[in-house]
Amino acid sequence: MKRIAFIMSTFPTLTETFVAGEIKLLKSRFPQSKIYSLRPPFDEILHAESRELMKQTTYLPSSLSAASLKSNLRSLLRSPLRYLRALMYVLSHTIANPLHMLKTLYLFPQAVHLASLLKNDGIDHAHSHWAGYPTTTALIVSQLNEIPFSFTSHACDMSMMKTMMAEKVRKAAFVVTCTADNIRYLSTFLPREQLRKVRVNYHGSNLEKFHPNLRCPKVTSAKLILSCADLHERKGFPYLLRALALLKDKGEEFYCFIIGEGPQRPLLEKMIAELGLGNCVEMPGAVTQEALIGYYSLCTIFVLPCVHQHLQFFRKNVDLDRYKILECKLSGGEAIQKDGIPNVLVEAMAMKVPVISTKIAAIPELIKNGENGLLVHERNPDELCTAIQLLLGDSDLRFKLGENGYRTVYEKFDRGKNIEDLVEIFCQHGSSHGVPEEVPLRIMKEQAPSRPV
């Protein structure tokens, strides 16, 4: 039975329910596997599923801890050539990006300590989530312990930080990504034989937890709009508020909940006051997944107007500091923060809630405009207002989009079904490195539509 090490940067987190859900199911199929996190969680609120996995997680000491330094000394003395070869390998592939190289140098002792733990635990495969530093860690472990590694890319982590990305794919046994849009990006610089390693596997949702039977019968004529995400710029909440202000000016009555927490809260609260939305927009903050289901069950529609967030060094960014922006710029990537397929859209559709979002990144892989949801152009409050007004006023359209949305999720975004594809991939890759054979997947493999200019 394969023993897999699941390696994360920070685990668990409130918003990465897709990672926790996937690992829970994979651990049930590979029970001798273990979870390792480079840092402890920082969220005060965690879902019940995440709290349970937290008890099973090994949290690594920092690179400068006594435990890490002792592990590095032992590794250097026992296998000096292997230790130095691994160190020089990662430094030589990051030297073109000095900031990334310095962070990798700091990470190295922690990765060496993890390699020691994995050897003691009998781990024979390392799998990391997120293509950045967790995957750098998995690669170092692979070099030191001579075991295969693989990784899962999420959202825009591949396109934002291009440094060492081609080498990570080349060395990996296989790569999993949650969107075909990432395949589109990788195809701009990876040779075809390397692209064969990359598999699209949608995260999906727990359809037993997010079930349409949980929706409450209509007991009021109130039009309830729901939106939920971290309060970050790429979620497009300022455009939602402007659209709601236009809707209010048209005499429409509604109430909107914006669930989540994040750095844009002060800006959004100020906008709510300035736009006169204080009596119809509420921001309850972050909630657990269990509480969120209650909001889904009551709402009329779900709206998430995501945007491309272009990284600019001289523009204030509440999500990333200037050092991180410079690191991304030096990597030669797209320098764009964007979502993949927001899981809240999948959850809403699983409960037959009609959804509205934007025509960016991988969202069109989930939502087909007019068929199972509505899509508008990003940063366009007028178009968004029109779509909201249309959906609130047309019960037949809401029913159609809700039914078709549920069917889409059931066919392509059922987490239980998609996990079986992952299990198949893991089972086909034992202890040897190399390019894997094609694995038949139920999920879509076509490239995503090109990113809008």
Full 3-state SS string of 344-413: HHHHHHHCCCCEEEECCCCHHHHCCECCCEEEECCCCHHHHHHHHHHHHHCHHHHHHHHHHHHHHHHHHC
Q: Where are the extended beta strands (E) located within 11-102? A: 34-39, 57-59
Report d(CA 296, CA 205) in Å as an integer: 14
- Provide mean pLDDT across the span 74-95: 97
Token pair recorded at residue 267: 């800006």
When pLDDT is cut at 50, 70 and 90, the band that residue 317 belongs to is low
Report d(CA 447, CA 187) in Å as an integer: 9
Report d(CA 86, CA 149) in Å as an integer: 15
Give the pLDDT confidence score for residue 440 in this predicted structure: 35
When pLDDT is cut at 50, 70 and 90, the band that residue 318 belongs to is low
Report d(CA 141, CA 409) in Å as an integer: 36
Check if 4-204+415-427 and 212-306+342-412 are the same fold. Answer: yes
Place of tokens 């990765």: 111
Instruction: Examine the pLDDT at 217 and tell me if it is beyond 80.
Output: no
Per residue in 402-434, pLDDT (tens digit) is 999 999 999 999 999 999 999 999 988 754 333
> Whole-model pTM?
0.89
Do 181 and 356 touch, CB atoms closer than 8 A? no
Give the pLDDT confidence score for residue 32 in this predicted structure: 95
- Provide mean pLDDT across the span 51-55: 92
Give the pLDDT confidence score for residue 260 in this predicted structure: 96
Question: Which has more confidence, 117 or 17?
Answer: 117
Per residue in 125-176, pLDDT (tens digit) is 999 999 999 999 999 999 999 999 999 999 888 888 999 999 999 999 999 9
When pLDDT is cut at 50, 70 and 90, the band that residue 15 belongs to is confident
Instruction: Examine the pLDDT at 396 and tell me if it is beyond 80.
Output: yes
**Closest by CA position to 227, among listed 358, 421, 121:** 358
Give the pLDDT confidence score for residue 44 in this predicted structure: 83
Question: Which has more confidence, 434 or 2?
Answer: 2
Give the pLDDT confidence score for residue 29 in this predicted structure: 93
Spatial neighbors of 368 by CB under 8 A, at least 6 apart, are 408
For residue 219, give the 3-state DSSP assignment. coil
**Closest by CA position to 125, among listed 431, 400, 354:** 431
Place of tokens 């999920």: 443
When pLDDT is cut at 50, 70 and 90, the band that residue 42 belongs to is confident
User: What fold characterizes domain 4-204+415-427?
Assistant: Rossmann fold (3.40.50)
H or E element at residue 7? strand 4-10
Q: What percent of the chain is predicted at pLDDT more than 70?
A: 92
- Amino acid in the structure at residue 411: E
Give the pLDDT confidence score for residue 429 in this predicted structure: 75
- Helix-strand-coil split of the chain, %, nearest 5: 45, 15, 40
Spatial neighbors of 200 by CB under 8 A, at least 6 apart, are 176, 177, 178, 179, 180, 182, 183, 441, 443, 444, 445
Domain chopping of the chain, boundaries: 4-204+415-427, 212-306+342-412
Phi, psi of 15 (to 5 degrees): -90, -20
For residue 259, give the 3-state DSSP assignment. strand
The stretches of 122-236 forming alpha helices (DSSP H) are 133-145, 157-160, 165-171, 180-186, 192-195
The half-sphere exposure of 389 on its side-chain side, counting CA atoms within 13 A, is: 16
Token pair recorded at residue 369: 């405009």
Mean pLDDT is lowest, of 23-37, 170-184, 316-330, for: 316-330
Per residue in 231-244, pLDDT (tens digit) is 999 999 999 999 99
Maximum Cα–Cα distance for the chain, whole Å?
A: 75
Do 448 and 185 touch, CB atoms closer than 8 A? no
Instruction: Examine the pLDDT at 445 and tell me if it is beyond 70.
Output: no
Do 57 and 38 touch, CB atoms closer than 8 A? no
| CATH label, 212-306+342-412, candidates 3.10.400.10, 3.40.50.2000, 3.30.390.30, 3.40.920.10 | 3.40.50.2000
CA torsion, ordered 365, 343, 246, 395, to nearest 10 deg? 80
Give the pLDDT confidence score for residue 434 in this predicted structure: 34
Per residue in 104-120, pLDDT (tens digit) is 999 999 999 999 999 99
Q: Where are the extended beta strands (E) located within 83-216? A: 125-129, 149-153, 175-177, 198-200
Give the pLDDT confidence score for residue 48 in this predicted structure: 83
When pLDDT is cut at 50, 70 and 90, the band that residue 220 belongs to is low
When pLDDT is cut at 50, 70 and 90, the band that residue 218 belongs to is low
Token pair recorded at residue 162: 């291009």
**Closest by CA position to 293, among listed 390, 232, 206, 365:** 206
Report d(CA 125, CA 428) in Å as an integer: 12
Spatial neighbors of 6 by CB under 8 A, at least 6 apart, are 23, 26, 27, 33, 34, 35, 36, 127, 128, 129
Instruction: Tell me whether strands 125-129 and 198-200 are parallel, antiparallel or unpaired.
Output: unpaired
When pLDDT is cut at 50, 70 and 90, the band that residue 446 belongs to is very low
Instruction: Examine the pLDDT at 353 and tell me if it is beyond 90.
Output: yes
Report d(CA 120, CA 195) in Å as an integer: 34
Report d(CA 228, CA 377) in Å as an integer: 19
